[in-house]
Structure formats: structure tokens, C-alpha cells
Amino acid sequence: MPAFSAHQLDRPSLVLAYLLPITALCVALGLFHLGRASLWSDEVFSRYYYDVFGPGFLFTEGLWREPTPPTYPIVLRGWMALFGDSEAALRSLSLLCTALSVPLVFRLGRDLGTRREALAAALLFALCPAVLYFAQEARVYAMPLLPVGMMLPAVANSPVNHDACPRCTPGTTRDMLRCSDWHTEGEAAMQPVVIAVAITGSVPRKKDNPAVPTTPAEQVESTHAAFEAGASLVHIHVRNPDESPSSDPALFAAVQAGVRRYCPGMIVQFSTGGRGRDQAARGNALELRPDMASLSTGSVNFPTIVYENSASLVTDLATRMQAYGVRPEIEIFDLSHLHGARRLVDAGLMDERPHVQVVMGVKNALPAEERLLDLMLG
């Protein structure tokens, strides 16, 4: 199966690369011996129902005497006018409805799961013996797949009561179906967590690892893969064409737009870090109003440089984040940085419950030791 980047997965390429072969397989299986057997009694009834009883009966007595809805005999009548009334022609209407349902199954699967799960659902639908059986029968049973397939995604995205789940406050039916409490009644509820992914950083280059995403397209693709694996927050650094760290708002905007499109609901966090970036430009992308942005509240020694964050710079970044409605992620590399964060709270630049990340294990900074973490948390 072709491998497409997340940013390439617009509808035309998706249909051509994935759904068209699956749909073609469904049609090929349905065409096999489609007209070989003679019509059986129920199919004969479908063939002559409109001719014998007429449209008046369909919408009066037929509504309660015959379980077949009037839509099918009318559509079948028009179908016969175009393609004749041979066994294959009569049954091909059901095959068409079944084939058109394949992308609808994919759409529903994509609403409720990952792209791979949706493709698997579409393939299983196309290969299902029961589906293929009714696809080769001149009866109504395949036709309802179309309206039902179009309706279910709307149901999946319909709002629900936030109290439907005690732990995750789902916003839609889809959220509720994804909730572990809904599926595992009686089991201990899992604690909700936020899985964050830093896809690029400011140091690694392609020469260090060819898989490092450095262009906006690569970063969107990498974020999408992490999103489908369960990540819910992405920390974004951007790079210049020479792979050096960048503060260009246009690059941040491109990555943010891709994440918003292909990873709906994912928290977008910009880096305002200073390795290799002009201090005066570190907050330039905040005007794009990401959900969050990193904020180091003090200077610290890094392996080869001093990571400089003067008090005036920290205050300026915090002020701009507050003005644009961006929630800071306080990066704590040293105990003194906690006091720097406290000063921002006291100055009214952050709320009383800041989002804090303790960064340990950086050479020349805070070692990754349990006793030091206990000290920070205490």
C-alpha cells in the first residue's frame, strides 16, 4: 500500500491511493457470476412490483402491506430503463450501492479510529461474504447502506452530555466510544494522561539521524504519526533551510496549520527556546496564538553553551503569552527557576496553577536523580 505523508492526504490522493483499489476489489468480487443464476422468487417480485401495483399502491397500501420501502422499486424501474432487465442488470444496482458504501465505511472508521483502522474496516467490508451475497441480489437490502453510511458519521460527531463518562468529559459520541470506561465497565478506570511529543528539537540534524523532521511537511507527517499512536501534545521547533534553529513565524504557521488539519484536537506548543536563535526573535511566533509555548524562567549551563534567559526576556515572553492567550509551559532546569516562575505568578502574568515541566539530565545542569526531583516537587 503506498505510503503518503500526512500533509499529502487530501481527498483525491486518498481515494486514488487507498479506497479505489479496495472499492475495485469489491466490484470485481461482486461481478463474479453476477448473472449466472436465474432470478429467485423474491427477485422476481422486485422486478415486477412496480409494474403490477403501480406508484399509487407503493405510497398507500404498500407502505404497510409490503416491508420493501417504495424507493427501491422506483429506482430499480429507472435502472431497468437504462440497463435492461437481465439478471446481471437487475443485480448490478445492489452491487453499485455496495461499492459506494466502501468509502462511507472508511469515513466512519476514520471518525472513530485511526486511518489504518479505517482502511482495515473498508477492506473487511469489501471482503465480507454477507455483504457480497446481498450485493449480488436484486433486492432492497444493499440500498440502505448508503443513507446509513452517510448518517453514522454525523451521529459519531454529535454532542453528548459531558457527564456521560465520569473521567473524560466527552464532547461527542465518538469521544464516548473511545473512552475506556465505556468499553470496560466494571474494570478499574485508567487515569487520563497527556502524552507529549517533541518531534524535532533544536540540536539534531539530518547527518545525525536522517529521520529527523526538519521541514514543515516532515514535521506535520511526524506529528500525525505520533498523534495516531496516542500523543495529544506536540512541542514544535522549526528549522531554516540549512537546518539551523529558526524563529520564522511563517514556518511555525505552516506546521501549526498542518497539525490543526490532520491532528484535530491536538495541543500545539511552540518553542521559545534560545539555542541558536536570536533572543529578540524568540517570541515572534506567539502572535499565531498556539495553545501553549515553552517558557524558561532562568539561565542555565548547557553542554556547550549558556542557555541565557534574562529576567527582562522572561517577563517580555510571559507578557506576550498572556496578551495572546497562550498558556506557558514553565521549563525548570534548576531550583532557582521555580522562584522565577513564582515571581511571574505574583506579577499576575500567570495563574496560580501554572503548567510546569521539570527538565533533568541535561549535561552541566540538573542531574536526573530521584532525590533532586523530590526536592523540586517538595
In-domain check, residue 187: no
Write out the residue range of the structural domain in which residue 335 sits: 196-377
> How high is the pLDDT of residue 177?
60
The total of structural domains in the chain comes to 2
In-domain check, residue 179: no
Q: Give the cell for residue 14.
A: 486518498
> How high is the pLDDT of residue 11?
45
Long-range residue pairs from 340-343, CB within 8 A, at least 24 positions apart, any chain: 340/297, 340/298, 340/311, 340/314, 341/297, 343/297
C-alpha closest to that of 286 among 254, 324, 315: 324
Cα separation of 337 and 356, whole Å?
11
> How high is the pLDDT of residue 316?
96
Neighbours of 231 (CB within 10 A): 19
Instruction: Give residue-wise pLDDT tens across range 229-273.
Output: 889 999 999 999 999 999 999 999 999 999 998 898 899 999 998
- 228 and 145 co-located in one domain: no
Q: Which pLDDT band, with edges at 50, 70 and 90, does 110 fall under? A: confident
Q: Which pLDDT band, with edges at 50, 70 and 90, does 312 fall under? A: very high
C-alpha closest to that of 219 among 197, 196, 203, 249: 197
- 211 and 71 co-located in one domain: no
Mean pLDDT over 67-74 rounds to 79
- 146 and 226 co-located in one domain: no
Residues contacting residue 42 through CB under 8 Å, at least 6 positions apart:
139
Instruction: Give residue-wise pLDDT tens across range 126-175.
Output: 999 999 999 999 998 898 888 887 887 777 666 655 555 555 555 666 66
> How high is the pLDDT of residue 9?
44
- 221 and 152 co-located in one domain: no
**Percent of the chain scoring above 90 in pLDDT:** 53
> How high is the pLDDT of residue 157?
67
Q: Which pLDDT band, with edges at 50, 70 and 90, does 17 fall under? A: confident
| Maximum average pLDDT range among 70-79, 92-101, 106-115 | 92-101
> How high is the pLDDT of residue 249?
96
- For residue 308, give the CATH number of its domain: 3.20.20.70
Q: Which pLDDT band, with edges at 50, 70 and 90, does 304 fall under? A: confident
The DSSP annotation for 238-271 comes to EE-TTS-EE--HHHHHHHHHHHHHHSTTPEEEE-
The vertex-166 CA angle with 162 and 168, nearest 5°, equals 65
In-domain check, residue 183: no
Residue 319 near residue 326 (C-beta atoms within 8 A)? no
Instruction: Give residue-wise pLDDT tens across range 175-189.
Output: 666 555 444 444 445
Mean pLDDT over 348-376 rounds to 90
In-domain check, residue 167: no
Q: Which pLDDT band, with edges at 50, 70 and 90, does 5 fall under? A: very low
Residues contacting residue 300 through CB under 8 Å, at least 6 positions apart:
306, 307, 333, 334, 337, 362, 364, 365
Among 137, 156, 175, residue at a domain's last position: 156
Q: Which pLDDT band, with edges at 50, 70 and 90, does 287 fall under? A: very high
Computed over every residue of the chain, the mean pLDDT equals 85
Among 135, 156, 177, residue at a domain's last position: 156
- 95 and 224 co-located in one domain: no
